[in-house]
Amino acid sequence: MTNVSRQGVDPIDFGSPPAEDRPQIQSVSVYEKLRLAIVSGELRPNEPLIEDSLSQRYGISRTPLREAIQRLAADGLLTGRKRGWAVREFTADEIRENYEARAGLEGLACRFAAERGTEEEHRRIATLHEQRSIMAPQEPGLRIRTNREFHDSILDAAHNNRLRHLIFLTGNFYLTRRVATTTSDDQYRRAQSEHGVIVQAILKRDGRAANEAMMVHIMNAFETWKRFNAD
C-alpha cells in the first residue's frame, strides 16, 4: 500500500466535537488545536510529539497535554513509539475507507436534515449556498470556511449529536488550502452544482434524494483529493 503524506497545507477550521463529548475545557482545547495541526498537515506524518515543545507552544502543563494526546491516539491519529507518540501516516486505502465512511454518515445526516430540519434551518442552508455561488472562486481561504459552514449547517438541521461526532472523527481529510488553491474554477462550479442538488432535495424534504446527493458529493471530493495527493 502507498503511504500518503499531507504536506504543505495551512491550518483550517475542521469543526469541533459536540459539547457533550467535552470532558475538560483546557484539555479539549489543546486536543482541538493538536487535531487541527495534524489533519491540516501542520504536524506531518511520522513527526514525533515532543511534550516540552508542545507545552511551551500552547502554554499549558503536561497533564492536559497528555490527556489530549490520549484522545488523539484513540481517534487513530497517532501511533505509539518506544518513547512517546508520533503522527500516524495513513495509507491510500485507509484514506479511501475514511471517505467512504464519511459519505455514508454525511448522507444520513443530509437525509435527517431534509426530514427533521426546521424551515429556518433550511433557509440558512439555502442562504449559505447562495452566498457561495456569488463568491469569487479565487479566494481559497473564504472557499474553505464557507464550505465548512455549509456542511455544518446541514449537521445542525439533522439534530443528531452522535452522528455529528462520528462525522467529526472522519474529518481527517477535508478540503485543505492546497486543494482549494489548485482547484480550477470549473471544478469549483461543479462542486457548487452538487451543493445545489443537495439544497433542492433538502428544501423538498426528500430525504432519499438528499442522502444520495451528499454521498455523490463526498465521493467526488475524494476523487479531487486523490488528484492532489498522488505520489
Residue 115 sits at φ, ψ, to 5 deg, of -85, -30
* Residue 169 near residue 35 (C-beta atoms within 8 A): no
Which of 67, 87, 107 terminates a domain? The answer is 87
Average pLDDT over residues 215-225: 89
Same-domain check for residues 72 and 99: no
- Domain for residue 13, yes or no? no
Q: Is residue 43 one of the residues assigned to a domain?
A: yes
Q: The C-alpha cell of 182 is what? A: 489548485
pLDDT at residue 90 in the model: 80
CA-to-CA distance for 105 and 166, rounded, in angstroms?
8
Q: 11 lies in a domain?
A: no
Same domain, 83 and 97: no
What pLDDT does residue 4 have? 46
Question: pLDDT tens, 178-205?
Answer: 555 556 677 788 889 999 999 999 999 9
The owner of cell 465521493 is: 219
Same domain as 107, residue 75: no
- Residue 19 to residue 34: CA distance in whole angstroms: 18
| Range(s) of the domain holding residue 198 | 92-228
Helix (H) or strand (E) holding 148: helix 140-158
Number of domains in the chain: 2
Give me the pLDDT at residue 163, please.
96
Q: Are residues 128 and 28 in the same domain?
A: no
What CATH number should be reported for the domain holding residue 148? 1.20.120.530
Q: What is the mean pLDDT of the chain?
A: 81
Reference 14, options 31, 116, 88, 200; nearest CA is 31
Regarding pTM above 0.75, the answer is no
